[in-house]
Amino acid sequence: TKELIYGGLEKSNGSKAFAYWNFTDMIKVQGFEGSVTFEVSGVSGEARLIDPMDGSIYTIPDSIMTKTANNLYLFKNIPVKDYPLIITFGDF
């Protein structure tokens, strides 16, 4: 069964982050990579993608992310792996 695991974080300065990953049976599958589409609301500021495995911080291109009214972000076909990737908003 493939399912997305996710959770939110908030710092004392009000900035937020969203961590997500695909549940993968590590015995059967080695190094899962794919993409996922989802919406995040109630956040503001510039969004960045962090890969904690190698410390990379990416600017998310407009081809993947759309920001609509009321601080609703739509992420289309954003990478997902078998470990957490983190999207930060604002001064996280």
pTM: 0.85
Per-residue pLDDT of the chain (92 residues; tens, 9 = 90+): 358 899 999 999 999 999 999 887 666 666 677 889 999 998 888 999 999 999 999 999 999 999 887 778 999 999 998 899 999 999 99
- Spatial distance between the Cα atoms of 69 and 62, rounded to a whole number of angstroms: 15
State residue 70's pLDDT score.
77
**Contact present, 90 and 16 (Cβ < 8 Å):** yes
- Spatial distance between the Cα atoms of 36 and 81, rounded to a whole number of angstroms: 10
State residue 33's pLDDT score.
76
